[in-house]
Chains A and B, each alone.
Chain A
Amino acid sequence: MNETNDRTAIAVHNVTRRFQRTGGGEVIAADNMSLTIPRGEFVCLVGPSGCGKTTMLQMIAGLLAPSEGEIEVDGRKVTGPGPDRGVVFQKDSVFPWMTVIQNIEYGLKCRGVPAAERRALARRYLAHVGLEGLEESWPRELSGGMLKRVAIATVFANGSRVLLLDEPFGALDYVTKHQLYDVLLSLWSEDEQHRTVVFVTHDIDEALLLADRVLVFKAGHIAADLSIDSPRPRNTESLLQPAVVAHKRTMLEHIGLRPSGGTA
């Protein structure tokens, strides 16, 4: 489980993360965890809230330091945030004081990409997420789903080979969510060499529609590591295939729910 080779995008080695609880005591959000994610894999981390999945994502992003252990991305130890790992956050992160196109260009500008080149790239990704014509709009004029499209275009335009998404669609309605699955997957499969995606969600169906592999988190441990080999493109019908239903049953059991309803 621990071997690292040049196909490995993310390697987590014996990582523990503790939080001090106000008023004493501590919470262990990651308990001596190790995992490897190969390049190009679409991995979903699922589990109930408080299971440590967001903590893991933030540690890979470099926004949170492990208490013990270390994380490597593309063979380099993670010491802080960086443009090699793009993040789509749960809450709205689009800068309200920049226009849509300025937001998408932001990362490219940070890295000194010439104006004409970054404008062209930004326009391409803006079109890809279906927002052409909104270049000069202010974020306040956009709906929640449109803001997510901007955030996705921003990280893809920035060229990060590793993308970390933290319950990005949690606050959206059913239809918008499914539209954004399509946007995300079409961008992901557009590249010859797929980008590595780590996608945190508490929604099991979401994980089954998106992932190559699902890691079920429970109280700071990985309770199950499942390969989802149902063919792509998937849709809501795919969720009814026997193999997928079996995966769903396994996941529900690990989370502590009986498939027939009620808690185990």
Chain B
Amino acid sequence: MNGSRSFNDRRVGVAALLALALVWQLMSVLFPMEIVPGVPMVPGWQVVVTRTFLSLSNFWEGGFGIPAASAGTPPSYGVAFLSLLFNSLDTFRRLALGFVIGGGIGFALGLLLSLSEWSNRFVGAPLRFIRALPLLAMIPLFQLWFGIADFGMVVFIAYGVGVIIFTSVINAVPRVPQIYRDNARTLGASKLRTFYTVTVPAILPEVRSAAVIAVGVGWAAALGAEYLGAQSGLGRIVVASEAFGYLDRMFLTAVVIIVYAAISTWLVERGFARLLRWA
């Protein structure tokens, strides 16, 4: 039952994506105007997978004995692929580091402050204020504090992810049913053991939901940080393309990012699946 249902879900999903791609193609025919000569406002797939993809060779910074595009390496599909791969890896590295550091600190800090009811209440009010701060508006602040190099971007992503995980922990701990703590205490568990055998596993379902949201926020933070001053990464390709009106490159990068975001969400869900077999 369940298997056939998820199979059907997948078929519907694939059909919807194909329909979207088809609508895009239709729009490219209906609106053939160009933003700069040779670059259509709505680039059709026949442009995106050929000329646009090839042009990613321009972002090749050199390596593997192949000189950088700026040093005269002619565009080719191979170089374009390498260029996309390495720029993607740069973004991935920043995102993964920021996610692990921010998620780890947010989780640990949330648990620490939940140890006493008093500290939990104490952080409640400022937390609502901090959550209301628009994350992306703070990029310039973080750049001045931590620099525009990798370190600054990682700190910024960690902040965005950390706030979400921290909030979920602070909210989830007081909602763990008292009966589980009572059960543990009457069976002889110390306060510390009750904490790591009852409180921590009991909040994991809520932390999983927060982590999935944090993946999306992490991508926004990573790209946002890269828009402002990165020397590599997918965000830099978008900004550099915008400067010259290369709408097709921006579109291709957006499609690639959507695929990556889906993959990273799936990875996080897989990571939690084992921990939450019981739920």
Contact A83 B188 (CB under 8 A): yes
CB of B278 within 8 A of CB of A139, answer yes
Query: In the complex, A139 Cα to B183 Cα: how many Å?
Result: 15
Residue of B nearest to A93 (CB): B183
Q: How far is A81 from B183 in the complex, measured between Cα atoms in Å?
A: 9
Contact B278 A138 (CB under 8 A): yes
CA of A61 to CA of B183 in the docked complex: distance in angstroms? 11
Q: Is B186 at the interface (CB under 8 A from chain A)?
A: yes
Partner of A93, one of B180, B278, B279: B180
Does residue B184 face the partner (Cβ distance < 8 Å to A)?
Answer: yes
**Bound complex: CA A97 to CA B198 (Å):** 9
Residue B12 at the chain A interface, CB threshold 8 Å:
no
Complex CA gap A257/B184 in Å reads 39
Contact of A181 with B by CB under 8 A: no
Cβ contacts B177-218/A at 8 Å (1 or 0 each): 001101111111110010001100110100000000000000
Which residues of chain A have C-beta atoms less than 8 A from B189's C-beta?
Answer: 106-107, 110
Contact (Cβ within 8 A) B186 A138: no
> What CA separation (Å) do A106 and B182 show in the bound complex?
13
Q: Is A232 an interface residue (CB 8 A)?
A: no
CB distance from A46 to the nearest CB of B (A): 23
Q: Does A76 contact B (CB under 8 A)?
A: no
A98 adjacent to chain B (CB < 8 Å): yes
**Chain A residues near B128 (CB, 8 Å)?**
none
Interchain CA distance A40-B42 in the complex, whole Å: 84
Number of B positions contacting A (CB below 8 A): 20
Contacts of B5 in A (CB 8 A): none
By secondary structure, the B interface counts as helix
Q: Which residues of B contact A83 (CB under 8 A)?
A: 186-188
How long is the Cα–Cα vector from A166 to B190 in the complex, in angstroms? 23
Chain A CB within 10 Å, residue with most, of B180, B188, B193: B188
Chain B interface: which of A84-92, A119-127, A188-196? A84-92
Interface residues of A in 30-70 (CB under 8 A from B): 61-63
- Set of chain B residues within 8 Å of A80, measured between Cβ atoms: 185
Q: B182 touches which one: A81, A110, A139 (CB < 8 A)?
A: A81
Residues of A within 8 A of B279 (CB): 96-97, 140
Which of B188, B204, B277, B278 makes the CB contact (< 8 A) with A110?
Answer: B188
A62 to B179, CA, bound (A): 14
Q: How far is the CB of A95 from chain B (nearest CB, A)?
A: 6
Query: Is the pair A95, B198 in contact by a Cβ cutoff of 8 Å?
Result: yes
Q: B183 and A140: CB pair below 8 A? A: no
Q: Tell me whether A170 is interfacial, beta carbon within 8 Å.
A: no
CB atoms of B202 and A82 under 8 A apart: no
Q: A98-B278, A139-B278, A140-B278 are in contact. Are A106 and B187 (CB under 8 A)?
A: yes
Residue pair B182, A63 in contact (C-beta under 8 Å):
yes
Cα A89 to Cα B180 with chains together (Å)? 10
> Is the CB of A111 closer than 8 A to any CB of chain B?
yes
Complex alpha-carbon distance, A63 and B279, angstroms: 28
Report A57 CB to chain B, min CB distance, Å: 11
Task: Tell me if B184 and A91 are in contact (CB < 8 A).
Answer: no
Q: Report whether B183 and A87 are in contact in the complex, using a CB–CB cutoff of 8 Å.
A: yes
A154 at the interface (CB under 8 A from B): yes
Contacts of B184 in A (CB 8 A): 95, 106
Question: Could you jot down 11 A-B contacts, CB within 8 Å?
Answer: A63-B182, A80-B185, A81-B182, A87-B182, A89-B183, A93-B180, A93-B183, A95-B184, A110-B187, A138-B278, A155-B187
Among all A-B residue pairs, the 6 with the closest Cβ atoms = A83-B188, A107-B187, A97-B201, A93-B183, A81-B185, A110-B188
By a beta-carbon cutoff of 8 Å, the part of chain B in contact with chain A is: 179-180, 182-190, 193, 197-198, 201-202, 204, 277-279
